[in-house]
């Protein structure tokens, strides 16, 4: 049974968090391995003559959502439903809410959201839909709701709501992260420290393809002066930020921009029988001699790390080393897939060194090189050994690692 939280966040105005801890999920978006789970956060705000629901939960938890919501309000009494983003991890339970509400509430969202809601849940779901314009303000229950579009965080439909008088920012996917934190907010530093790497993993796997929009949209919010004034950030996943609300956007900006941690080099490789591994071990030795801290992920006949975890390591790495064997005149399938996802989701201007091993005709090195050349990554060198690396290969590998280090300006 998933844990359900019904927590009062503010007394005046009366604000509640409705959170479900999804510990059943294995692959977010049917792809990303998240043994750490995820939470879906919805919020309910009771104002004078208005009851506002912000988003909902995934469809699988509809029954739990209705039960939790009904403890706070009769669904018929909800006057407004703000839909920040229609991805069904937030909108899945809405159909049932609307039915119980007898379609009385006004639904508020972007024009994109309207189209998507209709596509997902039928025309009845958008009968009472109000389409906002970017920056539009609306008085609801005596408070000023400002709606700001943040396209591609995470879909084209996405917006945030800022309640001017209270400094409350409902941010949906933006500001969210994976895992099931044991608190609801950022009050406990230990919880925050444990949570932030899951935020990075979430950003790369979910929003990574659009990571330049993270920087752009945060810039937009800064220009509007909103981030400065925000007292609380209430995302659709993970922790609420109220001790230090700026911190989550600083983290998002750093990940979006790929700000590196000094000394961290991400090393990813496959090795079927140990030959690529030998080349990698030479590189690791050279890296360590120069004081670098390699973070290593390897695919062997005994281990296959989660691709989602590897992706989460890219933004704060200074450089990457990719090792691959040639497999049926191609890149080994595991590294092929990882690389495809890195170039798609974590495409940053970082130096990359390619190492490889082949039997009769090396192809992997050249193929990886082509992918890297077409991306934002900076290709440093490609060294491939025929099977077991010779002393000559060893010298070339050490030399290329030194070349990589030079690129880092040390």
Ligand X SMILES: Cc1cc2nc3c(=O)[nH]c(=O)nc-3n(C[C@H](O)[C@H](O)[C@H](O)COP(=O)(O)O)c2cc1C
Which residues contact ligand X by CB under 6 A?
A: 271-277, 325-329, 357-362, 387
Q: How far is the CB of 269 from ligand X (least distance, A)?
A: 8
Reported as type and span, the H/E element at residue 392 is helix 391-407
Residue 80 or 278 with smaller CB distance to ligand X: 278
Residue 27 or 273 with smaller CB distance to ligand X: 273
Tokens of 386: 């025929």
What DSSP line would sit under 59-72, residue for residue? GGGHHHHHHHHHHH
Q: Which listed option, Fe ion, ligand X, none, makes contact with residue 89 (CB within 5 to 8 Å by class)?
A: Fe ion
Give the whole-angstrom CA distance, residue 147 versus residue 162.
6
Q: How far is the CB of 366 from ligand X (least distance, A)?
A: 11
* Secondary structure (3-state) at 202: helix
Site string (140-159) toward Fe ion, x via CB under 5 A: --------------x-----
Give the whole-angstrom CA distance, residue 121 versus residue 102.
15
Q: How far is the CB of 279 from ligand X (least distance, A)?
A: 8
Q: Which listed option, Fe ion, ligand X, none, makes contact with residue 359 (CB within 5 to 8 Å by class)?
A: ligand X
Q: How far is the CB of 88 from ligand X (least distance, A)?
A: 40
The neighbour count for residue 24, using CB atoms within 10 Å, is 10
Q: How far is the CB of 196 from Fe ion (least distance, A)?
A: 18
Indicate whether 60 belongs to the interface with Fe ion (CB under 5 A): no
Residue 173 or 286 with smaller CB distance to Fe ion: 173
CB 265 within 8 A of CB 317: yes
Distance from the first to the final alpha carbon of the chain: 52
Binding window for Fe ion (CB under 5 A); candidates: 125-133, 167-175, 271-279, 319-327: 167-175
Please enumerate in sequence order all residues whose Cβ is within 8 A of that of 47, keeping only pairs 6 or more positions apart, or say none.
13, 14, 140, 141, 142, 143
Q: How far is the CB of 249 from ligand X (least distance, A)?
A: 43
What DSSP line would sit under 203-252, residue for residue? IIIIIGGGHHHHHHHHHHHHHTTHHHH-SEEEESSS-BB-SSHHHHHHHH
How many residues bind to Fe ion according to rule CB under 5 A? 4
Residue 35 or 359 with smaller CB distance to ligand X: 359
Q: How far is the CB of 40 from Fe ion (least distance, A)?
A: 7
Give the whole-angstrom CA distance, residue 144 versus residue 138.
6
Q: Which listed option, Fe ion, ligand X, none, makes contact with residue 173 (CB within 5 to 8 Å by class)?
A: Fe ion
Please enumerate in sequence order all residues whose Cβ is within 8 A of that of 123, keeping only pairs 6 or more positions apart, or say none.
none
211-223 and 245-257 helices, crossing angle to 10°: 140
Give the whole-angstrom CA distance, residue 14 versus residue 375.
49
Site string (63-102) toward Fe ion, x via CB under 5 A: ------------------------x-x-------------
Give the whole-angstrom CA distance, residue 215 versus residue 407.
25
Residue 234 or 338 with smaller CB distance to ligand X: 338
In 290-379, where does DSSP find H-type helix? 307-313, 333-345, 364-374
Residue 81 or 331 with smaller CB distance to ligand X: 331
Q: Which listed option, Fe ion, ligand X, none, makes contact with residue 387 (CB within 5 to 8 Å by class)?
A: ligand X
Residue 224 or 272 with smaller CB distance to ligand X: 272
Q: How far is the CB of 304 from ligand X (least distance, A)?
A: 14
Number of H helices, E strands in the chain: 13, 19
* Separation of CA 168 from chain center: 22
Residue 28 or 327 with smaller CB distance to ligand X: 327
Residue 59 or 407 with smaller CB distance to Fe ion: 59
Q: Which listed option, Fe ion, ligand X, none, makes contact with residue 327 (CB within 5 to 8 Å by class)?
A: ligand X
Tokens of 390: 């010779």
What DSSP line would sit under 180-193, residue for residue? --SSSBTT-HHHHH
Site string (181-220) toward Fe ion, x via CB under 5 A: ----------------------------------------
Q: How far is the CB of 295 from ligand X (least distance, A)?
A: 20
Tokens of 336: 């092929």
Residue 242 or 278 with smaller CB distance to ligand X: 278
Q: How far is the CB of 264 from ligand X (least distance, A)?
A: 24
Q: Where does this chain bind Fe ion (CB under 5 A)? A: 87, 89, 154, 173
């Amino acid at each position: 049974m998933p844990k359900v939280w019904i927590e009062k966040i503010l007394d005046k105005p009366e604000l509640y968090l409705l959170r479900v801890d999804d510990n059943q999920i294995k692959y977010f978006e049917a792809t990303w391995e998240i043994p750490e789970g995820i939470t879906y956060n919805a919020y309910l705000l009771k104002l004078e003559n208005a009851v506002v629901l912000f988003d909902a939960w995934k469809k699988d938890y509809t029954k739990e959502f209705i039960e939790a919501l009904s403890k706070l309000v009769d669904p018929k009494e909800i006057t407004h439903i703000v839909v920040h983003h229609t991805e069904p991890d937030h909108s899945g339970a809405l159909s049932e809410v609307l039915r119980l509400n007898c379609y009385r509430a006004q639904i508020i969202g972007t024009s994109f959201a309207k189209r998507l809601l209709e596509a997902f849940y039928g025309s009845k779901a958008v009968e009472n839909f109000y389409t906002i314009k970017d920056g539009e303000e609306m008085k609801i229950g005596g408070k000023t709701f400002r709606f700001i579009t943040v396209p591609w965080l995470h879909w084209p439909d996405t917006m945030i709501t800022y309640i001017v008088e209270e400094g409350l920012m409902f941010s949906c996917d933006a500001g969210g992260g994976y895992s099931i934190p044991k608190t609801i907010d950022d009050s406990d530093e230990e919880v925050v420290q444990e949570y932030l790497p899951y935020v990075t993993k979430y950003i790369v796997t979910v929003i990574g393809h659009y990571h330049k929009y993270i920087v752009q949209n945060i810039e937009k919010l800064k220009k509007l002066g909103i981030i400065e004034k925000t007292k609380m950030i209430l995302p659709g996943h993970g922790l609420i930020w109220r001790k230090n609300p700026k911190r989550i956007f600083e983290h998002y900006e750093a990940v979006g921009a790929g700000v590196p941690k000094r000394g961290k080099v991400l090393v990813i490789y496959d090795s079927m029988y140990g030959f690529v591994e030998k080349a990698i071990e030479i590189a690791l030795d050279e890296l360590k001699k120069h004081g670098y801290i390699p973070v290593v992920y390897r695919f062997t006949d005994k281990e296959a790390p989660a691709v989602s975890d590897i992706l989460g390591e890219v933004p704060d790495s200074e450089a990457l080393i990719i090792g691959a064997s040639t497999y049926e005149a191609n890149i080994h399938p595991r590294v092929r897939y990882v690389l495809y996802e890195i170039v798609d989701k974590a495409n940053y201007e970082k130096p990359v060194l390619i190492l490889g091993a082949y039997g009769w005709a090396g192809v992997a090195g050249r193929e990886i090189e082509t992918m890297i050349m077409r991306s934002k990554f900076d290709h440093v060198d490609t060294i491939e050994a025929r099977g077991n690396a010779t002393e000559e290969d060893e010298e070339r590998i050490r030399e290329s690692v030194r070349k990589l280090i030079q690129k880092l300006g040390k």
